[in-house]
Amino acid sequence: MRVVIAGGHGQIALRLERLLAAGGHEPVGIVRRPEHAEELRKAGIGAVVLDLESATVEEVAAALEGADATVFAAGAGPGSGVERKDSVDRAAAVLLADAAERAGVRRYVIVSSMGADARHEGDEVFDVYLRAKGAADDAIRARPNLDWTVLRPGMLTNDAGTGLVRLEVAAGRGPVPRDDVAAVLAELLDTPGAAGLTLELVSGSVPVSVAVKDIAGN
């Protein structure tokens, strides 16, 4: 598979790209900075330099040409303000969906967040973030031309992955290593039966491949 990953220099994206490349797939990261593109290329990973906050649908669609799937793993980051929660966490996800439809790329996996809800209340930056992620999820799930999956991890950690997870429609709160999030994403991309599902992910006791197959009905 050729998989184009928005936010291609992010912590989860880098892990996913390595997994996909090791599995014989062709990952391509969309990144904002030329130096990040160079890092990816040196690692044998494709890269496209695009700023999703200013790119047009046509530009993003061109980056998606020939792709079998796309993953939205971009984020404004913990130090960003209210405006970028909307322009990255919501609007850029919608832009990628628009571009995927234009390029004819049906498979779309979005990395969301536990608690994402467009109707979430509160005035703190994290509240705005949860609303933005929820609105993005809603916009993606409303598209019949996309075979979408929404993945909502719990609290992300940099602990070494265990390969053991709990992946359910309602998994409950808990932490999960970024390694395991990337592993689940790789499995979801290779599992057509996961399309149309919104899933929560935390650490658990079920091997990643089994958890994905179980939830997809395989």
Catalytic residues: 129
DSSP three-state, residue 29: strand
The whole-angstrom separation of Cα 19 and Cα 5 is 13
Mutual orientation of helices 11-22 and 178-189 as an angle, nearest 10°? 50
Q: How many CB atoms lie under 10 A from the CB of residue 191? A: 18
The whole-angstrom separation of Cα 142 and Cα 50 is 26
The whole-angstrom separation of Cα 42 and Cα 48 is 13
- Token pair, residue 100, equals 């995927």
